[in-house]
Chains A and B, each alone.
Chain A
Amino acid sequence: MTIVQTGADLLISALRSSTPMAFALCGEIMGERAGVVNIGIEGEMLVGAATAFAVTAVSGSPWVGLLAGAAAGAVLSVVHGVLCLVCRANQIASGVAVLALGAGCSSYFGTPYVGRQITSFAPFTLPGASPGVAAVLRAVSPTMVLGLAVPLALGVLLFMTRTGLRWRAVGEAPAAARLLGINVSAYRWTAILLCGVLAGLGGGALSVDYAKGWSEGMTTGRGLVAIGLVVMTRWNPLWTTPVAMIFGAAESLSLSIQSRGVGVSPYLLALFPYLTPLVILALHARFSRRQGTMPASLADILQLGA
Chain B
Amino acid sequence: MKALARKSWPVAAGLVTFVAVTALLFGRATPSVTGFFAMLWKGAFGDGYALSETLVKATPTLWCALAVAVPAQLGLVSIGAEGQMYAGAIAGAGAVFLFPHQPAWLLLPLMLAAAALSGGCWGSAAGWLKARFGINETVVSMLQNFIAINLLEYLIHGPWIAANSGNWPETAEFPQAAILPPIVAGLRTHVGIFGAVAAAAALWFVARHTRSGLGGIMEASAVQNRLESAFLQGYGISGYLVSWLAGHDFLLIVPMALVMGAILTSADTLQLNAALPASSAIIIQGVLFTCILGWTSFVRSRR
Contact = CB atoms under 8 A, between A and B. Distances in A.
Interface of A: 39, 79, 82-83, 86-90, 92-94, 96-101, 103-105, 107-108, 111, 216, 220-221, 224-225, 227-228, 231, 265, 267-268, 270-271, 274-275, 277-278, 281-282, 285-286, 291, 302-303, 306
B290 A267 contact: no
Given A105-B283, A224-B142, A282-B129, A83 B150 contact: no
Contacts of A99: 237
A265 B157 contact: yes
A85 B282 CA distance: 24
Interface in B144-203: 145-147, 150-151, 153-154, 157-158
Interface residues of B, number: 47
B282 A278 contact: no
B142 A221 contact: yes
Contact of B146 (A88, A90, A216, A221): A221
| Nearest 4 pairs of A and B residues by beta carbon | A104-B282, A100-B286, A104-B283, A267-B154
Interface in B195-254: 237, 240-241, 244
Given A97-B286, A228-B142, A274-B143, A86 B298 contact: yes
B241 A87 contact: no
B16 interface: no
Contacts of A291: 134
Contacts of B142: 221, 224, 227-228
Contacts of A267: 150-151, 153-154, 157-158
A225 B286 CA distance: 22
A124 to B, nearest CB: 34
A277 B142 CA distance: 12
Contacts of A281: 133, 135, 139-140
Given A93-B244, A105-B283, 15 more contacts: A39-B79, A39-B138, A83-B290, A88-B300, A94-B293, A96-B79, A97-B290, A100-B286, A104-B280, A108-B279, A224-B143, A267-B153, A270-B150, A271-B150, A277-B143
Given A87-B297, A225-B143, A108 B285 contact: no
A277 B136 CA distance: 13
B293 A107 contact: no
B143 A285 contact: no
B31 interface: no
24 contacts: A82-B294, A83-B293, A89-B293, A90-B293, A92-B138, A93-B289, A97-B289, A98-B286, A100-B283, A100-B285, A101-B283, A104-B279, A107-B278, A111-B277, A216-B279, A224-B139, A228-B140, A231-B136, A265-B154, A267-B151, A274-B146, A274-B150, A277-B143, A285-B135
Contacts of A105: 279, 283
B286 A265 contact: no
Contacts of B279: 103-105, 107-108, 111, 216
Q: Which of A93, A97, A228 has the most CB of B within 10 A?
A: A97
Contacts of B136: 228, 231, 302
A227 B297 CA distance: 24
Contacts of A285: 133-135
A291 B133 CA distance: 12
B154 A268 contact: yes
Contact of A88 (B77, B153, B298): B298
B11 interface: no
Contact of A100 (B150, B154, B278, B289): B289
Nearest to A107: B279
A31 to B, nearest CB: 15
A269 B290 CA distance: 36
A224 B83 CA distance: 14
B140 A278 contact: yes
Contact of A87 (B139, B280, B283, B293): B293
B237 A100 contact: yes
Q: Which of B240, B290, B293, B294 has the most CB of A within 10 A?
A: B290
B287 interface: yes
B280 A108 contact: yes
Contacts of A96: 79, 237, 240-241, 244, 289
Interface string B106-142: 0000000000000000000000010001111011101
Interface in B248-299: 277-287, 289-290, 293-295, 297-298
A109 B300 CA distance: 35
Contacts of B284: 104
A88 B290 contact: no
A100 B290 CA distance: 10
A228 B135 CA distance: 9
Given A108-B277, A285-B135, A83 B283 contact: no
